[in-house]
Amino acid sequence: MTDVHSKEIRSYNMSRIRSKDTKPELIVRKFLFANGYRFRLHDKKLPGKPDLVLKKIKTVIFIHGCFWHGHEGCKYFILPKTRTQWWTEKISTNAVNDKKKKNILETLGWNVITIWECELRPKEREHILLKLLKKLKAVKP
């Protein structure tokens, strides 16, 4: 099946996808800040450059896009019909790298929390954010 967009339009669309300051990330950042948590963004010193680093409680938070990180069982994770093998390899490599980075961080003594993009949809958002707050309060500095 061919792409519904021309090569130029597809290229433009893909160039608009951001890796930082995404809507799900901003939702979590605003919530944590409003609840008194202070954090660093995308700390290059840590493996995987976590989206949020709460140094005081030695916790990192990754906010994953369902498509880019291969969220299995999620209705928002759909492989493209074109270049399927390339996308499969790309996404599975991302998932493997995510696991490696998580293991390294845990070995270094960091608490790792992963939040999926689909969990921050309006219906789930409040429940997930309260659950996150509970997890953070349970972590001892």
Residues 95-129 pLDDT 10s: 999 999 999 999 999 999 999 999 999 998 999 99
Please name every residue paired with 13 in a beta bridge, in sequence order, or none if there are none: none
The three-state secondary structure class of 25 is helix
Q: Model pTM? A: 0.86
User: Do residues 132 and 119 lie in contact, with contact meaning Cβ atoms separated by under 8 Å?
Assistant: no
Tens digits of per-residue pLDDT, 50-77?
A: 999 999 999 999 999 998 898 999 988 8
CA distance 113 to 31: 15
Query: For residue 31, what pLDDT is reported?
Result: 97
User: Do residues 60 and 54 lie in contact, with contact meaning Cβ atoms separated by under 8 Å?
Assistant: yes
pLDDT exceeds cutoff 60 at 94: yes
Residue 112: exposure state from Cβ atoms within 10 A (0-12, 13-18, ≥19): middle
Nearest-Å Rg of the Cα atoms of the chain is: 17
